[in-house]
Amino acid sequence: MNRIYVVGTADTKGEELAFLADTIAATGSSVARVDIGTRGATVPVDVPASEVAAHHPGGAGSVLGIDDRGTAVAGMGAAFTSFIQSRNDVAGIIGIGGGGGTSIITSGMRALPLGVPKIMVSTLASGDTAPYVDVSDIIMMPSVTDMAGLNRLSRVVLHNAAQAIAGMAASPAPAATGKPALGLTMFGVTTPCVTAIADQLRADYDCMVFHATGTGGRSMEKLADSGLLAGVIDITTTEVCDLLFGGVLPATEDRFGAIARTKLPYVGSVGALDMVNFWAPPTIPEKYRGRLFYEHNPNVTLMRTTADECRSIGEWIGEKLSRCAGPVHFLIPEKGVSALDIEGGAFFDPQADAVLFDVIERTIKPNATRRVTRLPLHINDPKFAKAATAAFLDIARQ
């Protein structure tokens, strides 16, 4: 039987943990009480902290009995992530915590597939929740008062949270049916291309377009890792520029990692690799003063990538894609990579583009399932969109 995992530090928040678990159990739901505290539990639990800690790569000794709180929290976060990933009976998960507990529990929540119900009742939920939620579907619920014993308000908050997770677990969303889902990446400067591709594939695929703003690429790859995509058309790989050169919309080092892990059919390109994103001009690092910039709007400033930077970008992408064992077809639009990189455009630089193209072609190691194709087209040319569509259909049907 699947269970709702109720997680908290049973040493410091035992009263709240017990109340929450009992309230969920009263709905008829099966409950697993999990302790992630580093000292003795004050209430009965189903999974003691020692069992969770044993899932740490270095063993329980890497988590428990450590005096430094920061080290202990980080260790328990790693252990809990491994623990929850090892479960095959998670109907939903709900956590309670302050700073340390929220960090530990949400690290495990983020590792679970999208769609698994996740609620975090936290003292931090009314602030910047990005580090805790990231690209997951965690619901952050403010505790309002601190968790220092039950009171008339905390009972209401925890009761509502209990009813929410019980309801989600009891009535899970139906499995996706119909057309398979396809992930596509887009930026404003590649919109004509990606829109045309989606239009051509929408009859057969549920086209999910992601804005390539760092979180967009991570969200798409999270869906891939969760088994929710049938393929990827990654026209806009610009997040790599911000990762390598300090832009404000960066990918992570794991960009393209999901493609390698899942072996999904993948068509990629060089969309918007001519730019690094910064905020308003005063925020641009001093080392970039004197470079070629374009004011996208009052709050976003774009910097043209140089030939040397394009070389680094090409090598980084090529090395990543060379690790992919699934079908990969990478397309190079020789007449420009964005709406700004076109003859007469602000970022038109054939020399820098040539370096990028040559390095990618040299670095991506071709084999029976991996290849690179140059096209004498601009990325937003309708013919390029047709070529990308055809390339995907070709590898998807293999």
Residues 85 and 143 in one domain: yes
Burial-class residue 351 by CB neighbours within 10 Å (0-12, 13-18, 19+).
exposed
Mean pLDDT of 15-39: 97
Residue 345: the pLDDT is 98
**Per-residue pLDDT tens over the stretch 189-233:** 999 999 999 999 999 999 999 999 999 999 999 999 989 999 999
Please state, in angstroms and rounded to a whole number, the distance separating the CA atoms of residues 271 and 385.
12
**Per-residue pLDDT tens over the stretch 126-174:** 999 999 999 999 999 999 999 999 999 999 999 999 999 999 999 998 8
Query: DSSP assignment of 247-311, as one string?
Result: -SS---TTTTHHHHHH---EEE--TTTTEEEESSGGGS-GGGTTS-EEEEETTEEEEEPPHHHHH
Total domains in the chain come to 2
* CATH code for position 91: 3.40.50.12020
244 domain-assigned: yes
Residue 38: the pLDDT is 86
Last residue within a domain, chosen from 108, 139, 170: 170
Residues 123 and 199 in one domain: no
Predicted TM-score of the model (pTM): 0.85
**Per-residue pLDDT tens over the stretch 247-305:** 999 999 999 999 999 999 999 999 999 999 999 999 999 999 999 999 999 999 999 99
Residue 175: the pLDDT is 79
Last residue within a domain, chosen from 151, 170, 189: 170
265 domain-assigned: yes
Residues 218 and 274 in one domain: yes
pLDDT of residue 47 exceeding 80, the answer is yes
Residue 66: the pLDDT is 87
175 domain-assigned: no
Q: Residue 310's domain spans which residues?
A: 181-396
276 domain-assigned: yes
Mean of all residue pLDDT scores within the chain: 96
Residue 40: the pLDDT is 87
Last residue within a domain, chosen from 170, 198, 216: 170
Residues 162 and 213 in one domain: no
On whether the CB atoms of residues 301 and 279 are closer than 8 A, the answer is: yes
Mean pLDDT of 82-94: 98
- Residue 39: pLDDT band by 50, 70, 90 thresholds? confident
176 domain-assigned: no
